[in-house]
């Protein structure tokens, strides 16, 4: 591993030699193929995106051995990612010292492999990025992929045709799962995601990035009206999941971005949002009313009462092994109970140590993104830092409402974006200057012909 920044330049960067290729593959395959398509002999590990995730560990190891592939410059998310992996290994070892059933032992190993893969994806995203254009390539791919996910979801909502009905790959079989797809008079959509909740949360995670690129465009390129297609499709498709988590994620993303926007942009966003709500109410009668009822009558929802009834069981498990838990990934629904809260699940399986590691991972990533916003000199970099902070906050908040680590697309994207904020901090800030010389003005959003010149000037300033 090099001690400075990555040494390969743009001319040396082929797709096959780019360590980010495994991250690109995860994003493309995770969205393009239905999550329930698996290679049957591998069982739960047989989904192509999961195979890529586990393979990322070896890919990261090879990149470490190749000089100049990964940056050695310090950034806070790297410490948080490695710490999270070490805690996972520790609590997996704790599980081996307990008496586990075969189902629990297999689930624990699967969870460990997945976490190590997610951490590897995050570390590659953090340290393999050479420059801002390289980072933008990765994040714009995320936006494009999730835009495709939103489009497939809208098609499914309108026509009833789900991607598993028309996407079939030789050698892969469709895994049978029990999912409640009916809510009120609507069929909840999931497109290629594993569950409607994951579908909605992934859209909310990508929305801040889509809005960033809609406002700032690509570096050195003139803005286009087409740049607004991704965020509009994501916002339109999100309610079609008929999920509180999705609405909560969109709200978190919108509020955290709007806090940094100038007043005129907030007014435009509010007007555009109002027009979009009117249009959706006309095009999809009853959908917004169903969502409103889900929040107004939340106390009467059996799914909510079922979650709160589990709290007594959580307290019982926690009391038995509070510090290190009963073993990573050993809370198997088939043998215990289903828990729709990632933090409580981590508390049971990995104890207070695991819970602290997960919270620290999110806090460090969000703090790093905010640090870029406060300290970077390039307005587009500042906006991107806030967008990555908001995207990470969406996962951090929505994982209170479902077990996000069990849904590979959401979990993988969360770790990739944690790595991406580390890469952005390394490129744009690079030194510990928290709280000193902070620039609290709103980032300027170049428009029209001024955009390419502003981007070029920012590049010269660095």
Instruction: Give percent above pLDDT 70 in the chain.
Output: 86
pLDDT for residue 356: 98
Q: Is pLDDT of 458 > 50?
A: no
Query: Are residues 359 and 303 in contact, defined by beta-carbon separation less than 8 angstroms?
Result: no
- Provide mean pLDDT across the span 194-208: 97
164-168, 217-221, 335-339, 360-364: lowest mean pLDDT where?
217-221
Rounded to the nearest 10°, the torsion over CA 231, 287, 391, 54 is -100
Alpha helices in 160-243 (DSSP H): 163-166, 196-216, 229-237
pLDDT for residue 452: 46
- Provide mean pLDDT across the span 373-402: 96
pLDDT for residue 92: 98
pLDDT for residue 299: 66
Instruction: Give percent above pLDDT 90 in the chain.
Output: 74
pLDDT for residue 310: 82
pLDDT for residue 319: 95
pLDDT for residue 402: 93
Question: Which residues are within 8 A (CB) of 151 and not within 5 positions of it... i.e. 6 or more apart?
Answer: 233, 237
- Provide mean pLDDT across the span 195-224: 89
pLDDT tens, residue by residue, 51-65: 999 999 999 999 999
- How does residue 331 score in pLDDT terms, banded at 50, 70 and 90? very high
pLDDT for residue 131: 93
Q: Which residue has the tokens 């010389």?
A: 437
Q: Is pLDDT of 12 > 60?
A: no
**Of residues 406 and 184, which shows the higher confidence score?**
406
- Provide mean pLDDT across the span 121-134: 96
Q: Which uninterrupted H or E stretch holds 30?
A: helix 21-32
pLDDT for residue 311: 87
- Provide mean pLDDT across the span 174-199: 85
Report the C-alpha gap between 91 and 108 in whole angstroms: 10
pLDDT for residue 303: 67
Report the C-alpha gap between 93 and 140 in whole angstroms: 39
- How does residue 445 score in pLDDT terms, banded at 50, 70 and 90? low
CA 358, 359, 360, 366 torsion-angle sign: positive
The helix, strand and coil proportions of the chain, stated in percent and rounded to the nearest 5, come to 70, 0, 30
At CA 428, angle to CA 426 and CA 432, rounded to 5?
Answer: 65
Q: Which uninterrupted H or E stretch holds 17?
A: none
Start-to-end CA distance of the chain, whole Å, equals 25
pLDDT for residue 198: 97
- How does residue 282 score in pLDDT terms, banded at 50, 70 and 90? very high
Structure tokens at 315: 């307290």
Q: Is pLDDT of 190 > 50?
A: yes
Q: What is the CA radius of gyration of the chain?
A: 22
pLDDT for residue 201: 98
Q: Is pLDDT of 446 > 70?
A: no
pLDDT tens, residue by residue, 308-328: 778 889 999 999 999 999 999
Q: Which uninterrupted H or E stretch holds 330?
A: none
pLDDT for residue 436: 41
Report the C-alpha gap between 188 and 181 in whole angstroms: 5
Q: Is pLDDT of 78 > 80?
A: yes
pLDDT for residue 336: 87
Query: Are residues 359 and 423 in contact, defined by beta-carbon separation less than 8 angstroms?
Result: no
Q: Is pLDDT of 142 > 50?
A: yes
- How does residue 11 score in pLDDT terms, banded at 50, 70 and 90? very low
Which candidate, 30, 386, 394, 392, places its Cα nearest to that of 246?
Answer: 394
pLDDT for residue 438: 46
Contacts 24+ apart (CB under 8 A), 306-311: 307/339, 307/340, 307/341, 310/337, 310/338, 310/339, 310/344, 311/344
Report the C-alpha gap between 134 and 151 in whole angstroms: 26
Q: Please tell me the number of Cα atoms within 13 Å of 250 on its side-chain side.
A: 22
What are the CA-CA distances from residue 27 to residues 84, 99, 136, 166, 288 (Å)?
22, 37, 14, 20, 30
pLDDT tens, residue by residue, 24-44: 999 999 999 999 999 999 988
Q: Which residue has the tokens 């620290």?
A: 360
Average pLDDT, rounded, for the chain: 88
**Of residues 274 and 181, which shows the higher confidence score?**
274
What are the CA-CA distances from residue 427 to residues 142, 326, 443 (Å)?
20, 40, 18
Report the C-alpha gap between 6 and 71 in whole angstroms: 5
Dihedral pair phi/psi, residue 446, rounded to 5° = -70, 140
Report the C-alpha gap between 96 and 329 in whole angstroms: 12
């Amino acid at each position: 591993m090099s001690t400075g920044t990555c040494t390969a330049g743009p001319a040396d960067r082929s797709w096959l030699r780019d360590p980010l290729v495994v991250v690109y593959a995860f994003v493309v395959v995770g969205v393009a193929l239905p999550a329930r398509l698996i290679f049957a002999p591998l069982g739960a590990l047989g989904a192509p995106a999961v195979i890529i995730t586990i393979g990322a560990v070896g890919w990261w190891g090879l990149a470490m051995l190749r000089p100049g592939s990964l940056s050695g410059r310090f950034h806070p998310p790297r410490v948080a990612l490695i710490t999270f992996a070490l805690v996972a290994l520790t609590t997996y070892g704790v599980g081996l010292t307990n008496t586990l059933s075969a189902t629990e032992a297999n689930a624990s190993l699967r969870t460990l492999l997945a976490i190590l893969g997610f951490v590897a994806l995050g570390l590659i995203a953090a340290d393999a990025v050479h420059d801002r254009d390289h980072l933008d390539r990765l994040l714009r791919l995320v936006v494009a992929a999730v835009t495709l996910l939103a489009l497939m979801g809208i098609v499914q909502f309108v026509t009833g045709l789900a991607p598993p009905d028309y996407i079939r790959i030789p050698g892969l079989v469709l895994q049978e799962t029990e999912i409640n797809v009916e809510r009120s008079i609507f069929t909840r959509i999931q497109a290629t995601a594993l569950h409607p909740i994951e579908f909605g949360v992934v859209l909310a995670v990508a929305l801040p990035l889509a809005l960033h690129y809609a406002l700032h465009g690509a570096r050195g390129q003139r803005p286009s009206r087409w740049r607004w297609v991704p965020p509009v499709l994501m916002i339109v498709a999100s309610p079609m999941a008929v999920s509180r988590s999705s609405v909560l994620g969109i709200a978190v993303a919108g509020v955290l971005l709007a806090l940094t926007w100038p007043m005129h942009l907030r007014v435009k966003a509010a007007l555009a949002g109002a027009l979009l709500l009117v249009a959706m109410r006309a095009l999809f009668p009853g959908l917004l009313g169903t969502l409103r009822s889900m929040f107004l009558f939340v106390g009467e929802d059996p799914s909510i009462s079922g979650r709160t009834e589990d709290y007594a069981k959580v307290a019982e498990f926690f009391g038995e092994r509070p510090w290190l838990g009963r073993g990573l990934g050993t809370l198997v629904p088939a043998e215990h109970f289903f828990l729709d809260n990632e933090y409580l699940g981590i508390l049971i399986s990995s104890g207070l140590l695991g819970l602290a590691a997960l919270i620290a991972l999110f806090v460090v990533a969000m703090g790093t993104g905010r640090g870029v916003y406060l300290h970077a000199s390039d307005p587009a970099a500042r906006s991107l830092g806030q967008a990555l902070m908001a995207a990470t906050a969406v996962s951090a908040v929505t994982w209170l409402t479902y077990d996000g680590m069990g849904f590979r697309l959401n979990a993988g994207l969360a770790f990739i974006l944690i790595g991406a904020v580390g890469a952005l901090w390394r490129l744009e800030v690079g030194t510990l200057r928290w709280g000193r010389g902070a620039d609290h003005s709103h980032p300027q959003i170049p428009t029209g012909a001024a955009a390419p010149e502003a981007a070029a000037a920012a590049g010269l300033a660095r």
